[in-house]
Amino acid sequence: MKCGFCGREIPADHVQQSCGMCKGGCRKIHCPYCGHENPATPAYLRRLAEKKEAKSQTHQEDDHS
């Protein structure tokens, strides 16, 4: 995923790990480059977003009457 602050790619294995920087089960994803706390996106939400994109693309193709 991309960091929402500096825009650099955060490695997938870093995303899987628990924070470790904050005490007590922080669920945010800290960017290894700038330290920004990115909100963790649940897998099902990500799938929903991908579906939305696919739908809008097919809709554009259908729009030739």
Contacts of 55 (CB under 8 A, 6+ apart): none
Contacts of 28 (CB under 8 A, 6+ apart): 19, 37, 38, 39, 40
Q: Which of 33, 46, 47, 51 binds Zn ion (CB under 5 A)?
A: 33
Tell the smallest beta-carbon distance from residue 36 to Zn ion (Å).
5
Q: Which of 5, 9, 18, 55 binds Zn ion (CB under 5 A)?
A: 5
Is 40 a binding residue for Zn ion by CB under 5 A? The answer is no
The answer to whether 10 and 19 have CB atoms below 8 angstroms apart is: no
Rule CB under 5 A: which residues touch Zn ion? 3, 5-6, 19, 21-22, 26, 31, 33-34, 36
